[in-house]
Amino acid sequence: MSKNIYLPNYEHSENAHIQSMEQYRQMHKKSIESPAEFWSEIADQFYWENPYDVRNFYSFNFNVKSGPVQVKWMEGATTNVCFNLLDKNVRRGMGDKIAFYWEGNDPEDYSKITYKKLLEEVCRFANVMKSKGVVKGDRVAIYMPMILEIIIAMLACARIGAVHSIVFAGFSAESLAERMADCKCKVLITADSVYRGDKLLNIKNICDSAMERCQNFGHEVQTCIVVRHLPRLYRSTNHSNGTNGNASDVIDLHSDVSWTDGRDFWWHDEMDDVEPACYPVWMSAEDPLFMLYTSGSTGKPKGVLHTTGGYLLYAATTFKYVFDYHPSDIYWCTADVGWITGHSYVTYGPLANGATSIIFEGTPFYPDNSRYWSIIEKYKVTQFYTAPTAIRALMKFGEEPVKKHNLNSLKVLGSVGEPINPEAWLWYYKNIGNERCSIADTFWQTETGGHVITPLPGCTPMKPGSATFPFFGVNPILLDENGQVIEGVGEGYLVFNKPWPGMMRTLFGNHERYQSVYFSKFPGYYCTGDGARRDEDGYLWVTGRVDDMLNVSGHLMSTAEVESVLTEHPDVSEAAVVSRPHPIKGECLYCFVTPNSGVPFTPKLSSELIKKVRENIGPFAMPDVIQHAPGLPKTRSGKIMRRVLRKIAINDREVGDISTLADEHIVDELFRNRPEKT
């Protein structure tokens, strides 16, 4: 085994659900060889109105050549996801357990909700939706901040069999309109305002404009329900100053919320005086639970559809094992509910396990750069799950903000969204985890529904930057360009040849596109679109999107590999590397580099970086250009928009749609910063 390995903390292993690699391998083997047996034992822990048939537990076809692609688990069984998350836990005596601590953008603004209260609120809101004519199978769009009502809204949908389609509340009116029209939602649930950084934004206006644009697509949203979030903040701010807000202030503050009578309704008006009980609608295991749009390479978003039974099993099981969750733990996932991470690991997974979680409205930088660490200390968080981009952003401020806080409660640190570069991994491990915590570098996708490649805390020896081994039920395979299976050490396309219960079933209203995007490149396999490398110890290293792979003078490499070398330099905060066409080498490396705050970008730094890449990877990987990037073009979820960087690299101003960028101005700045002759 290579030296660069970090063993799990054996104090944690003693109590872990999976305590050794041997136990992991046994369970994984069983999950692959006898999926029905493996998953039905887990299904037994949930409530089924109509039982499943173990002899006919699942079926699938991944091969487009032998008929339509399909995946089914527990077909014929019926259940209700909301019932399993709430009623079942309340009936088990957990009614008074906290389901969520809500922490507002303002540290003075916080609240909490128990399982019993959450069930009541969900039932109330389910009744509100019924009164608006929402029935099983209807789509409901949700465009909301990180407030408890977003959880209530999604679970109320699940209770009555409506299909929620959450759109992250940072998308533009145009994007929201496109998504609402595509799924033909009957209702839109939103709030009056949302925080973006420390700015308060009126999102009802965005919704109004989106509903108007929807009509251009020939669709009309019938009902819009609006949470009054702003006056609550206002009142609580006043409260913390020792005074109480009064009714006239509240009305004043709302004078800028525009209203269409007959279509728009305040959440609190509707919730007043409705029954806090609502009988669940029993859903077939393969009925849709929710859809979630994810970007496609053609630009038109794809409505990834997840169904009831399999998703419930998978979200619950991955949550339990990947975070090694135990009943007294306090779990915190920083992802917005608007992304798949928020669906599976803020809402469904934690609640299915009766967990107590934190839901945070704000940003890591407000009121100061230690907000995350102060929340961990405040609630004694045991599992913390965030993204590499957040870690790298926080690394810039050094260890001081971290040291002010006691982070000893932590046991597990999670990472998600992109490959984590070893430097960020080590910083996270040392400074946040104090070298005691396991790091779960979870590889997965909107489409996979839950983690598919990940270490298990207390069990898996870790290698910084490797997502390690497959989760139960997942069988990863590497293929070369010709579809030949790569055994042992090697790098290729990451694909799967078997379904696991939580994977997507189709793209909403477009099964053709589902088949062509995911199953046509290599018939018989689900194609992730990512590349991966298997090392001499069998560890998997996800190298990034296949479209971020490049071939320099016949050498296949991933931009992520080079980025990770660049960010190892002590003066570099972030780096993004793209491929640029090259007359001789085919492609060459064009690197965007953000120095640490206060560090100037100099020719010396630039040549040090070129030298470093040459030394770490090889002369073939030597970058042709290192460009200073004061910032990188990122989506609001923190993903670097590489297609924009590729345009900057070739000095092509036709950058396409950049409305999903957190800060569009950075693009102009990067064009201005291009080194002259390149």
Provide the binding-site residues for ligand WT7, judged by CB under 6 A.
294, 339-341, 416-419, 441-446, 467, 528-530, 542, 545
Q: Of 318 and 606, which has the nearer Cβ to ligand WT7?
A: 318
CB half-sphere exposure, 493, CA atoms < 13 A: 21
CB nearer to ligand WT7: pick between 83 and 444: 444
Beta bridge partners of 71: 60
Q: Which is nearer to ligand WT7, 280 or 417 (CB)?
A: 417
Closest contact distance (angstroms) between CB of 322 and ligand WT7 is: 11
Smallest gap from Cβ 479 to ligand WT7, in A, equals 16
**Which residue's CB is nearer to ligand WT7, number 171 or number 443?**
443
Tokens of 158: 């699940």
What does the alpha-carbon distance between residue 206 and residue 503 come to, in Å, rounded to a whole number?
Answer: 32
Q: How far is the CB of 296 from ligand WT7 (least distance, A)?
A: 11
- The number of residues in the chain equals 678
Q: Which is nearer to ligand WT7, 104 or 638 (CB)?
A: 638
Measured CA to CA, the distance from residue 212 to residue 214 in angstroms comes to 5
Could you tell me which of 415, 412, 421 has the C-alpha nearest to residue 465?
421
Cβ contact 72:60 at 8 Å: yes
CA distance 610 to 421: 18
Consecutive H or E run containing 27: helix 21-33
Number of other CB atoms surrounding residue 236 within 10 Å: 17
Residue (324 or 441) nearer to ligand WT7, CB: 441
Give the nearest residue (CB) to ligand WT7.
446
Q: For the purposes of burial, counting CB atoms within 10 Å of the CB of 32, is it exposed (0-12), middle (13-18) or buried (19 or more)?
A: middle
Bridge-partner residues for 307, per DSSP? 288
Q: How far apart are the C-alpha atoms of 80 and 280, rounded to whole Å? A: 7
- What CA–CA distance (Å, rounded) separates 558 from 493? 12
**Beta carbon nearer to ligand WT7, 294 or 673:** 294
Q: Alpha-carbon Rg of the chain, whole angstroms? A: 25
Closer CB to ligand WT7, residue 334 or residue 446? Answer: 446
What is the SS3 assignment for 573? strand
User: For residue 274, how far is the Cα from the chain centroid?
Assistant: 34
Rounded distance between C-alpha atoms, residue 433 and residue 101, angstroms: 22
Min separation Cβ 23 and ligand WT7, Å? 23
**In the complex with ligand WT7, which residue's Cβ is closer, 341 or 573?**
341
Minimum CB separation of residue 445 from ligand WT7 in Å reads 4
CB 146 within 8 A of CB 359: yes
Please identify, using beta-carbon distances, which residue of 121 and 548 lies nearer to ligand WT7: 548
Contact 280, 83 (CB under 8 A): yes
Q: Between 124 and 646, whose beta carbon lies closer to ligand WT7? A: 646
Q: Which is nearer to ligand WT7, 183 or 494 (CB)?
A: 494
Closer residue to ligand WT7 in complex, CB, 528/579: 528
Nearer to ligand WT7, 52 or 518 (CB): 518
C-alpha angle 503/539/621, rounded to 5°?
105
Q: Give the C-alpha separation, 369 to 439, whole Å.
A: 22
- Give CA–CA dist 347/290, Å, rounded: 12
Q: Which is nearer to ligand WT7, 341 or 386 (CB)?
A: 341
Query: CB 670 → ligand WT7: shortest distance, Å?
Result: 23
* Cβ 210 to ligand WT7 shortest distance, Å: 22
Q: Cβ neighbours of residue 43 under 8 Å, at least 6 residues apart?
A: 52, 74, 309, 313
Least distance (Å) between residue 300 CB and ligand WT7: 16
Q: Give me the residues paired with residue 266 across strands.
A: 226
Residues paired with residue 70 on neighbouring β-strands, in sequence order: 61
Least Cβ distance, residue 548 to ligand WT7 (angstroms): 8
Q: How many angstroms separate the CA atoms of 183 and 198, rounded? A: 32
* Nearest-approach distance from CB 438 to ligand WT7, in angstroms: 14
CB of 318 to ligand WT7, least distance (A): 11
Minimum separation from the CB atom of position 371 to ligand WT7 (A): 22
Smallest distance from ligand WT7 to CB 446, Å: 3
CA dist list (Å): 403 to 369, 400, 597: 12, 5, 19
Contact predicate 440/322, CB 8 Å: yes
Specify the residue, 370 or 446, whose C-beta has the smaller distance to ligand WT7. 446
Least CB distance to ligand WT7 at residue 516 (A): 17
CB of 414 to ligand WT7, least distance (A): 9
| DSSP-derived secondary structure for 246-258 | -HHHHHHHTTT--
Strand 58-61 relative to strand 70-73, pairing: antiparallel
CA distance 602 to 626: 11
CA 375, distance to chain mean position in Å, is 20
Rounded Cα distance, 310 and 383, in Å: 25
What is the SS3 assignment for 282? Answer: coil
CB of 418 to ligand WT7, least distance (A): 5
Beta strand pairing call for 540-545 and 356-360: unpaired
Question: Which of 16/467 has CB closer to ligand WT7?
Answer: 467
Q: How far is the CB of 52 from ligand WT7 (least distance, A)?
A: 28
In order, the DSSP letters of 438-468 are: EEEEEB--GGGSS-SB---TTTSPB-TT--B
